[in-house]
């Protein structure tokens, strides 16, 4: 149930990582941008969206045999208008057609019927004149719990019906995450620890076969002590771990997020994979090959700290 398909792919591929697809037009090889500009006009959102889709497909082709999941970040698609959002939908469909698990990183949050609409949009289906139609069709969605359980319960319902999952922001990787998240509440626990406990409780509604529920938590690699503390406190909550690489988290740091079977977390890298060819000096036509090589390096780096992954 829920995140089980992701967990099975992680174990099968012996790779607890997810490739963030956060494309900016300026990251993309010139030959792809020029082709799109010729077709759609140089300064158009259509051209940007077309170039990003081609880039993403190249990355997915190269990464899908190695990496179990992708995490498109909605912001980078919205920034290119509805045209970019169309590319988001097409990217999700393409990744799923290659067997990848898709985590849509939208950090969505609202209440009641509005949260139901987000759930329908991203992991469910929408009623259109009596027929259930898929809008974006991701496998899991990141969500923000500031509004309390009214913002999560509608997701639980859709995830249960559709066998999908979610990741709730708990302790984020950014420097200012502590402003609110590290504050101590009346229960003597921090905001992030409390949010984590809620994930554990919400997760009881979405039990999984491997001991982890469909309600995961986002916990940054940049706070290894908190990662370890949360891993021990939240035995049924799977972690999505951003902040490896560019933001400063190393493999030793992220190792804290895993249990003794090498399960319990999936570590994200975005720019280091997306833009690997910038760094290696590879020919731009080899962007996908460079991404795959970086993905293999990252897997080896993390596995060297956690050992074999056992279901």
Which residues are annotated as catalytic?
A: 107
Residue 151 or 208 with smaller CB distance to its own copies: 151
Partners of 268 in the beta sheet?
18
Binding residue (CB under 8 A) for its own copies from 21, 53, 115, 166: 115
For position 31 contacting its own copies by CB under 8 A, the verdict is: no
Rounded Cα–Cα distance for residues 26 and 132 (Å): 37
Q: What are phi and psi of 107, to 5 degrees?
A: 45, 45
- HSE value, Cβ hemisphere, 13 Å, CA-based, for 120: 12
Binding residue (CB under 8 A) for its own copies from 10, 32, 53, 191: 191
For position 179 contacting its own copies by CB under 8 A, the verdict is: yes
For position 304 contacting its own copies by CB under 8 A, the verdict is: no
- What is the nearest approach in angstroms of its own copies to the Cβ of residue 133? 6
Region from 4-12, 167-175, 221-229, 297-305 binding its own copies, contact rule CB under 8 A? 167-175
For position 233 contacting its own copies by CB under 8 A, the verdict is: no
Region from 7-15, 59-67, 174-182, 294-302 binding its own copies, contact rule CB under 8 A? 174-182
Residue 107 zone, left/alpha/beta (φ > 0; ψ -120 to 50; rest) = left
- What is the nearest approach in angstroms of its own copies to the Cβ of residue 209? 30
For position 114 contacting its own copies by CB under 8 A, the verdict is: yes
For position 249 contacting its own copies by CB under 8 A, the verdict is: no
Number of residues that bind its own copies (CB under 8 A): 75
The CA-based angle 91-142-186, given to 5 degrees, is 170
Rounded Cα–Cα distance for residues 62 and 58 (Å): 6
Number of H helices, E strands in the chain: 14, 10
- Return the exposure string of 75-98: e unless at least 16 CB atoms fall within 10 Å of the residue's CB, then b: ebbeebeebbbbbbbebbebbbee
Rounded Cα–Cα distance for residues 301 and 255 (Å): 10
- What is the nearest approach in angstroms of its own copies to the Cβ of residue 287? 18
Instruction: Kindly write out the interface string for residues 65-84 of this chain, putting x where it contacts its own copies by CB under 8 A and - elsewhere.
Output: --------x-xx-xxxxx-x
Region from 20-28, 206-214, 229-237, 256-264 binding its own copies, contact rule CB under 8 A? 20-28
Residue 26 or 308 with smaller CB distance to its own copies: 26
Site for its own copies in 88-107 (CB under 8 A): 88-89, 107
Give the dihedral sign, CA 256/262/268/273: positive
For position 18 contacting its own copies by CB under 8 A, the verdict is: no
Binding residue (CB under 8 A) for its own copies from 45, 100, 227, 265: 45
- What is the nearest approach in angstroms of its own copies to the Cβ of residue 243? 10
Q: How far is CA 134 from CA 131, 166, 168, in A?
A: 10, 17, 23
């Amino acid at each position: 149930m829920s995140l089980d398909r992701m967990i099975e792919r992680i174990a099968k591929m012996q790779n607890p990582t997810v490739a963030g697809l956060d494309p900016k037009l300026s990251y993309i090889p010139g030959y792809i941008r020029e082709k799109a500009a010729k077709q759609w006009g140089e300064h158009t959102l259509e051209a940007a969206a077309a170039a990003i889709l081609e880039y993403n497909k190249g990355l997915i082709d190269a990464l899908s045999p190695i990496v179990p999941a992708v995490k498109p970040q909605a912001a980078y698609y919205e920034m290119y208008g509805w045209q970019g959002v169309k590319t988001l939908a097409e990217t999700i469909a393409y990744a799923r057609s290659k067997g990848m698990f898709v985590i849509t990183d939208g950090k969505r949050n609202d209440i009641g019927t509005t949260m139901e609409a987000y759930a329908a949009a991203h992991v469910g289906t929408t009623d259109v004149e009596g027929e259930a139609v898929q809008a974006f069709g991701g496998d899991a969605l990141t969500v923000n719990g500031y509004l309390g359980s009214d913002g999560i319960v509608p997701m639980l319902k859709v995830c249960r019906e559709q066998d999908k999952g979610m990741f709730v922001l708990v302790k984020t990787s950014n420097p200012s995450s502590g402003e609110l998240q590290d504050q101590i509440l009346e229960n003597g626990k921090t905001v992030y620890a409390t949010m984590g406990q809620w994930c554990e409780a919400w997760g009881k509604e979405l039990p999984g076969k491997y001991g982890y529920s469909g309600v995961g938590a986002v916990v940054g690699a940049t706070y290894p002590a908190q990662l370890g503390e949360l891993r021990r406190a939240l035995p049924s909550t799977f972690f999505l771990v951003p902040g490896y690489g560019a933001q400063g988290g190393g493999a030793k740091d992220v190792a804290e997020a895993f249990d003794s079977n090498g399960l319990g977390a999936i570590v994200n890298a975005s720019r280091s994979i997306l833009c690997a060819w910038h760094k290696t000096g590879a020919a731009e036509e080899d962007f996908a090959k460079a991404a795959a090589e970086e993905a293999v390096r990252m897997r080896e780096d993390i596995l060297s700290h956690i050992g074999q992954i056992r279901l």
